[in-house]
Amino acid sequence: MPEIDAWLMLSGTIFTVGLVGVIIRRNMITVLMCIELMLNAVNINLVAFSHRLGSLEGQVFTIFIITVAAGEAAVGLAIIIQLYRLRSSINVDEARELNG
């Protein structure tokens, strides 16, 4: 079985990819997908620790994170649909009515 370091590295890599994706992409739907990637990296970490420590809390935590991700995705997609109705575009930087 690979050591905990390997799991940490794997989840760190996926987290970083998601993080970079959130910042650099313009398409809102892709940005939302990158946020899901970040949450998945957290889940890998939690399950790996849960296995290593022999404690169940990590797995329970993971289930709640999956729930949170589902709810967040639903509301986020609703916001995106409303953005599309108002501006006929789903790019992040189209929304620039507010100076800043």
Partner 1 sequence: MNLTPLLEAHWINAILPELVLCIGGMFLILFDAFAPKARSLTGPIAVVIFILCAWSQRFVAVGTFFGGTYEVGGITRVFDITFVLAGILCTLLSADYLEREGITGGEFYALLMWGTVGMMMMAKGLDLLIIILGLELLSICIFVLLGFQRRLPVSNEASLKYFLMGAFATGFILYGTALFYGATESTNINVMARWFANPDVTITPLLTVAFVLLMAGFGFKLALAPFHPWAPDVYQGAPTPVAGWLSVAPKAATLIALIRIFHAMGPVLPQTKWMTIVAWLAVLSMIIGNSVAIAQRDLKRMLAYSGIAQVGYMTIAMLTINEDAVASIAIYTIVYALMNLGAFGVISMLAKNQNDPQTLDDIAGLGWRRPFHALALAVCMFSLSGLPPTGGFVSKFYIFRTAVQSGHTGIALIGIITSIASVYYYLRVVYYLYMKESAEGQTRIDGGIFATGALAISIIGIFLIGIWPTPLFHAASYAAHLLLAR
Partner 2 sequence: MEQLTASMPLIVFVMIGTVAVASSILVVAMRNPVHSALFLLLTFLCVAVLFVMQKAEFVGAVQVLVYAGGIMVLFLFVVMLINVRHLPDERVLSNFWKGGFLVGLAVFALFVTMVRPGVYHDENPNKSKLSTVRDRVAINSTKNPGRLGHKRITRHNVNSEAVANALYTDYLVPFEVASLFLLVAMIGAIVIGKRELSAVEEETAPDYMLARVETEREIKEAMSA
Where on the chain is the footprint of partner 1 (CB under 8 A)? 4, 15, 18-19, 22, 28, 31-32, 35, 38-39, 41-42, 45-46, 48-49, 52-53, 55, 57-58, 60-61, 64-65, 68, 71-72, 75-76, 79-80, 82-83, 86-87, 92, 95-98, 100
Task: Show the site string, 80-99: x = touches partner 2 by CB under 8 A, - = not.
Answer: xxx-xx---xx-xx------
State phi, psi for 72 to the nearest 5 degrees.
Answer: -65, -40
- Which of partner 2, partner 1, none does 42 bind, CB closer than 5 to 8 A by kind? partner 1
Does residue 23 belong to the site contacting partner 2 (CB under 8 A)? yes
Q: How far apart are alpha carbons 100 and 94 in whole angstroms?
A: 13
Q: What b/e sequence results for 50-60 when a residue is b if at least 16 CB atoms lie within 10 Å of its CB, and e otherwise?
A: beeeeeeebee
Structure tokens that stand for 46 in this block: 């939690």
Residue 18's SS3 state is helix
Does residue 35 belong to the site contacting partner 2 (CB under 8 A)? no
